[in-house]
Structure 1
Amino acid sequence: MTVDRGLLATLKAKPGKGDELAAFLEQGRALAAAETGTVTWYAFKIDDTTYGIFDTFETEQARQAHLGGQIPVALGQVAEDLLAADPDIRPVDVIALT
């Protein structure tokens, strides 16, 4: 297995919506687990309004499939209610892992 690419997304919750955003992210775990090309998927909290997702892939095709998959669609459906700004989604190169 060669995991050499990922996605890093940071999400800013509207005031008072952090817990709802966290609950939404917890639900995303099942969607990510169903994706055959997603190797790892992490949702995390930085502070009361800043959350994130980090996921990894073995191929560019898997990363692109994820970007066009169910999680971004679901996020788009709740973004207006939960997010203070558009998500910051960046492709990253994985340079080391254990």
Structure 2
Amino acid sequence: MSEPTILHATFTARPGEGDRVAALLRDFAEGVRAEDGNVVFDATRLVDDSDRFFVYEVYRDDEAFQAHLASPAGVPFNAALQELIVEPSSQLTFLRRL
């Protein structure tokens, strides 16, 4: 059995763009959760800094993650997100279950 692909993404909205980032992320999350290989897509906003976002993602395996990356919704989402955040792109950290 193959290992799941687990990661978290963090990013910071530009000043005044937090609500737009949240709306964009909410819409994107709906589509990702419907993907066949997605197990978890949990998009959150930090309580003490509402411009900071944390997304926890789990995919059935690397094949499912690659399918997610190639999904038609990903390119426009990432292009729109890039315009609204401080970082050049979301910062990804890959994880492994113990």
TMscore range, shorter length: 0.7 to 0.9
The 1:40/1:53 distance shift into structure 2, 3 A limit, reads same
Structure 1: which amino acid aligns with 2:41?
W
Deviant stretches of 4+, over 3 Å: 1-4
TM-score, normalisation: structure 1 = 0.80
Cα deviations by residue, 1:34-85 (Å, 9 ceiling, x for unpaired) = 2100011100012221102111122111122222224531332213431111
5+ residue gaps, structure 1: none
The one-letter amino acid of 1:26's match is R
- Which residue matches 1:44? 44
Aligned pairs (5 A) from 1:5-84: 5-46=5-46, 47-84=49-86
Gaps of 5+ in 2: none
Query: Residue 90 of structure 1 aligns with which residue?
Result: 93
- Scaled by the length of structure 2, the TM-score of the pair is 0.80
Alpha-carbon distance, 1:3 to partner: 6.7
* Cα distance in 2 for residues equivalent to 1:11 and 1:91: 15
